Amino acid sequence: MPRQIVLASRPSGWPTAANFALTETGQPELADGQVRVRNLFMSVDPYMRGRMNDVKSYVPPFRLGEPLEGGAIGTVIESRSPDLVKGDLILHMLGWRDEAVLPAQQARKVTPAAGLSPSAYLGVLGMPTLTAYVGLLDIAALKPGDVVFVSGAAGAVGSMAGQIAKLKGAARVIGSAGSDEKIRWLREIGFDAAFNYRARSVVEQLREAAPDGIDVYFDNVGADHLDAALVMLSPHGRVAMSGAIAHYNATEPPVGPSNLGLVITRRLTLRGFIVSDHQHRMPDMIADVTAWLRDGRLSHAETVVDGLDHAPDAFINLLRGANTGKMIVRL
């Protein structure tokens, strides 16, 4: 019998294994227009932590006792839709389960990308890279010659943001991440400088890496990283506010940056965005990324965890920084 992961209880602070339960699904008959998909890979993403809280946000909260949802890619094994046939590879939002039944209209058929695992559609050819692309080019309006700082740089979004900045003409790209091994990898994939934020204060290390200041900050972290970036941003600097992962498990409201006054005196622009509002940029992103991958100019990494029963651990470990590049669960 196919299985699924349900939300057993809402986490308070850091999620634990007890917040999740593995249950069996039924095998419902298909209605007209529906397909049954056997999932091959599912995504775990930081935004899912927000959906585990019972609060109103840009996506509704997960429901207690119901299966979790999220990006997944799989093969159609049964179809009652004229649009999809058995064997088609589809991208959809019913991850966290071995099999799913959904209307064909809620799936996007994709062609297996040459030389890439189907999981690429959850990472380098998917939502995280679109976030990096839109955040840099449209939100922060990257210009050739900019000095760019990316936090969470060794993750799915950050590793793409840093490389795309270089490929689009940034003069210098600096990244921060949470281990020396990640720092070595960032240098290998083309970051000009990278530092381990756990080793010393972020502002000190950012000042050493960018003595003349930064023009763009791609913020995945918030907290001390945003504070440090504000100190180092040059006049008219721009911030793409992508995420604030340092706050996602906080049980108390976070203390705001102590230096927001700099936004005024330096004429800075801080702009938040949600990638789902920018789907129209997907074809541009795919065209650029496909060409860069073909020419060997873009590197990407995946950390792959095996088995649906390990999906909760994969999610918890993503929040702890166990991943380099995109965290993926193979089903």
Ligand X SMILES: NC(=O)c1ccc[n+]([C@@H]2O[C@H](COP(=O)([O-])OP(=O)(O)OC[C@H]3O[C@@H](n4cnc5c(N)ncnc54)[C@H](OP(=O)(O)O)[C@@H]3O)[C@@H](O)[C@H]2O)c1
Query: Which residue type, as a one-letter code, is found at position 110?
Result: V
- For residue 162, state whether it binds ligand X (rule: CB under 6 A): no
- Strand residues in 145-275 grouped as ranges (E): 147-150, 172-177, 193-196, 214-219, 233-241, 269-272
Q: Which is nearer to ligand X, 158 or 257 (CB)?
A: 158
Q: Which is nearer to ligand X, 224 or 288 (by Cβ)?
A: 224
Taking the CA of residue 18 as centre, how many other CA atoms within 13 Å lie in the half-sphere pointing to its CB? 4
7 vs 161, beta carbon nearer ligand X: 161
Q: Among 125, 154, 232, 270, which residue interacts with ligand X (rule: CB under 6 A)?
A: 154
Q: Say if residues 122 and 274 touch (Cβ distance below 8 Å).
A: no
147 versus 327: smaller Cβ distance to ligand X: 327
Query: Which residues on neighbouring strands pair with residue 239, listed in sequence order?
Result: 217, 270
Listed residue (278, 310, 245) closest to 42, CA to CA: 310
- Whether 246 contacts 228, CB under 8 Å: no
Using the rule CB under 6 A, give the single segment among 63-71, 138-146, 208-216, 271-279 that binds ligand X. 271-279
- Whole-Å CA distances, 291 to 17, 35, 287: 41, 33, 6
Nearer to ligand X, 42 or 245 (CB): 245
Which residues partner with 37 through β-bridges?
76, 100
Please say which residue, 80 or 278, places its beta carbon nearer to ligand X: 278
Mutual angle of helices 156-167 and 127-134, in 10-degree steps: 50
**Cβ proximity of 9 and 64 under 8 Å:** yes
The Cα 103–Cα 32 span in angstroms is: 8
CB of 243 to ligand X, least distance (A): 2
Q: What tokens were used for 168?
A: 């689009």
Binding-site member from 37, 89, 91, 157 for ligand X (CB under 6 A): 157
Strands 20-24 and 3-7: antiparallel
Task: Name residue 224's amino acid.
Answer: D
Q: What string marks each residue from 24 to 63 as x (binds ligand X by CB under 6 A) or -?
A: ---------------------xxx----------------
Q: Which amino acid is at 173?
A: V
H or E element, residue 159: helix 156-167
User: Closest CB to ligand X among 104 and 316?
Assistant: 316
Q: Based on the shown chain and the rule CB under 6 A, indicate whether residue 220 belongs to the binding site for ligand X.
A: yes
Smaller CB separation from ligand X, 67 or 128: 128
Binding mask 233-262 for ligand X (x = CB under 6 A): ---------xx-xx----------------
- What region does 115 belong to: left with phi over 0, alpha with psi -120 to 50, or beta? left
302 binds ligand X (CB under 6 A): no
In angstroms, what is the minimal distance from the CB of 271 to ligand X?
11
Of these, 274, 287, 294, 306, which contacts ligand X (CB under 6 A)? 274
273 binds ligand X (CB under 6 A): yes
Q: How far is the CB of 175 from ligand X (least distance, A)?
A: 9
**Residues 91-130 as x/- pattern, contact with ligand X by CB under 6 A:** -------------------------------------x--
Residues in the site for ligand X, rule: CB under 6 A? 45-47, 128, 131, 152, 154-158, 177-179, 182, 197, 220-221, 242-243, 245-246, 273-275, 318-319, 321, 323, 327
